[in-house]
Amino acid sequence: MTVKLVSLVATGPDKPEARVNFRDPAMLVRGPSDTGKSYIRDCLWYLLGGDKLPKKIPEAFGYDLLTLKLEVDDGSYEVRRAHSGGDSTLVKLASGEDGTPTTEVLEEEIGDFLVRHAGAAGKQLLRSRSKRGLVTGGDLRHWCLLSQPTMISEDATAGPVANATQRVAAFHMFLTGTDDSAVELVKTSKELDRLAGQILGVEEVLRRVRADLPQNATKGAVADALERVDVALNAMTSHYEARASALKGVRDEILKKSAEVQAAERERSHCLSMIERFNLLDAKYKSDSERLGATWEGVAMFQALEEVSCPLCGTSAQAQVDPRQLRSGAQDGYRRALKAELDKIVVLQEGLALALARERNRAARMTQMVESLRAELSELEATEKARVNETRYEFSGDPKSLAVRRSALSEQLAKFDEEAQLVAEHARLTNAKKQKKIPLSRNVGAAAAEVAALAKHYLHAWGFTSIESVLLDTDTCDLVLDGRARLDFGAGKRAIFLAALTIAVMEHAVAKEYPHLGFVVIDSPLKSYADPKSKEQRDVAVSTVTDRFYAWLAQWRGPGQLVILENQEIKDDSKTLLDPLEFVGDGDEDGRRGFYPGVQKAAGGFTP
């Protein structure tokens, strides 16, 4: 998974298009100073997520949009960003069914896009010894887009100290393909302060717990006392369970017999209630008989009386009452009705006497049954009492006091356990607060030797055949040549040696399919070495280095894409092979003047 540069385009209203088409695997952009070579590198840095705006050169006036076309495994994309700043826009390029070009604006950030297609998605790098983070686009740009000041700089290749740790981590990721997810982090000052606060908190709780513990008591003694209390409580429990088991049968019989007594008493009460009701009914029957007898006698007396007129007014009896009532047959009818009613009451009294006798017999029987059942219940209760007395066992303490004692001992034992936990936690926090200053030493295996061998091969191809030993110092991410660090050489050699290192790392990473963008852009690797004003000792002639470098670049077949921005002249045979993009500047030569198709005037303006 790599990214390939395709084209860089600057556009603006009513302005001619400024375009650079990048070739793969090698591309040379050559021309004198101030023609826009470094500007190309700055635009690439800006479009690939950098914050620094390209330089405000006069030729850029009127241009408002930069567009970079990229190719990756899943197709072509464009990155668009305004000259004046702001966020970049990532666009996927495709073709419709009819072949019409289509575009799709993506929400993905350009940095995330680069990381994903460089094969570094999900990998973590150290930001410092106490912080880790995901690979960013800046980690990749730093090692793939080298500016002219970087080439001759006397600073470490990792750059400023603020970003050095993560840049070194990215360099090692290129070498080995592994990240820093397994590296143990060093605690920050905030974490150490937090641990110190936790230690103070644990110590305070520990003092409070120890204040609640009995003096001169040990955990073992408390545990033994608790065990003895448990033995006594278990003995009491076993005793009570044995007694309950022995009494269970008797108590079940008592419950059963009590239920029978209650049922018999309810039956007897019912019988007595029925007898009382029957007695009331018998009294009613007697009252009715007496009433009917009196009526009988009244009718007989009426019949025996003579009919006389009213002693007051002399009105005859026939004139005062219904004559039908005075007929003898009417009184006889009354007497027959009374007799029939009396006969009915006699029959009812006979039936009532039988029922009353039956209920009295039943009540007597139920009374006898209740007395019998009560006697049996008393027997069972006596048996229960006897068995309770038989199983009585004397203990030195009562269950309540033992339970209270057990609760107190359990609390003390829990305090001892809490003390042990707090002591262990205090020790853990104390050990965590102590951190050893162990230097970080990543194991790159044979990768360092492989990259150094590639760099040596390039340098020999470029004419530095006198170099016998090339080593890669993985701590400084730089080369050591014949026992001498790269930064100890002059500016010209520093630039050339850094170019060799950068290309070697790219070839190694891409060949091994390790994370890498898959291209490098190097600004002016030869310029400082060829500077006629330089007093640097040159072991190899400038022309030799230049010619051999261009010849080597013309033969470059990868892996990886090389884009070289350079001032030095190129021989015709190498030019034929490389077909460089050449800027002619402000001279009289025919050709492209620079990145922007305008000619700079002496006054600082430009002519289209």
Mean pLDDT for the stretch of residues 391-412: 73
Quote the pLDDT of residue 608: 36
CATH 3.40.50.300 residue window(s) in the chain: 4-186+444-601
Q: In the predicted model, what is the mean pLDDT of residues 449-478? A: 96
The whole-number pLDDT of residue 320 equals 59
Q: Identify the residue with better confidence: 438 or 518.
A: 518
d(CA 395, CA 393): 7
Judged by phi (left if over 0) then psi (alpha if -120 to 50, else beta), residue 75 lies in left
Residue 70 pLDDT > 60, yes or no?
yes
Query: Average pLDDT, stretch 364-375?
Result: 90
Asked if pLDDT for residue 310 goes beyond 80, the answer is no
**pLDDT confidence of residue 598:** 64
Higher-confidence residue of 217 and 156: namely 156
Say which CATH topology domain 4-186+444-601 has: Rossmann fold (3.40.50)
Amino acid identity of 242? A
Calculate what percentage of the chain has a pLDDT beyond 70.
91
**Residue 603 confidence (pLDDT) above 60:** no
pLDDT-derived band at 395 (thresholds 50, 70, 90) equals: low
Average pLDDT over residues 48-73: 94
Asked if pLDDT for residue 560 goes beyond 80, the answer is: yes
What does the pLDDT read at residue 601?
40
Q: Residues with Cβ < 8 Å from 437, sequence gap 6 or more? A: none
pLDDT over 90 percentage in the chain: 50
Reported as a pLDDT band with limits 50, 70 and 90, residue 599 is very low
φ/ψ (deg, to 5) at 4 = -115, 130
Distances (CA, A) of 288 to 131, 292, 297, 348: 116, 6, 14, 12
Confidence of residue 157 (pLDDT cuts 50, 70, 90): very high
pTM exceeds 0.85 for this model: no
The residue with tokens 């027997």 is: 379
Q: What is the pLDDT of residue 433?
A: 74
**What confidence tens digit (pLDDT) does each residue in 581-592 have?**
999 988 777 889
Phi and psi at 460, nearest 5°, equal: -65, -40
As a whole number of angstroms, the distance between CA 456 and CA 442 comes to 23
Q: What is the pLDDT of residue 194?
A: 83
CATH 1.10.287 domain range(s) in the chain: 244-305+323-392
The sheet carrying 484-485 orders its strands as 470-473, 478-481, 484-485
Regarding predicted confidence, which is higher, 282 or 10? 10
pLDDT tens-digit series, residues 179-206 = 998 887 777 778 777 878 888 998 888 8
> Average pLDDT, whole number, for the chain?
87
The amino acid at 49: G
Distance in Å from the first CA to the final CA of the chain = 41
607 pLDDT more than 80: no
Lowest-confidence segment of 53-57, 363-367, 381-385, 496-500 by average pLDDT: 381-385
Give the pLDDT of residue 64. Answer: 95
Question: Over 70: is that where the pLDDT of 317 sits?
Answer: no
Q: For 438-449, what is the mean pLDDT? A: 84
Closest CA to 1 of 504, 558, 514, 447: 514
321-364 pLDDT tens trace: 565 555 556 667 777 888 888 888 888 888 888 988 998 999 89
Pairing between strand 561-566 and 26-30?
parallel
Burial (CB count within 10 angstroms: exposed 0-12, middle 13-18, buried 19+), residue 93: middle
pLDDT at 600: 42
pLDDT given for residue 438 in this prediction: 62
To the nearest 10°, report the CA torsion of 398, 400, 406, 409: -100
- Spatial separation of the C-alpha atoms in residues 66 and 11, rounded to whole Å: 7
Compute the distance between CA of residue 229 and CA of residue 405 in angstroms, rounded to an integer. 8
Q: Which of 90-104, 196-210, 250-264, 381-395 has the lowest mean pLDDT?
A: 381-395
Whether CATH 1.10.287 fits 244-305+323-392: yes
Q: Bigger pLDDT: 294 or 204?
A: 204
Tell me, rounded to whole angstroms, the distance of Cα 267 from its chain centroid.
Answer: 73
Beta bridge partners of 101: 95
What pLDDT digit, counting tens, does each position of 118-156 carry? Answer: 999 999 999 887 789 999 999 999 999 999 999 999 999
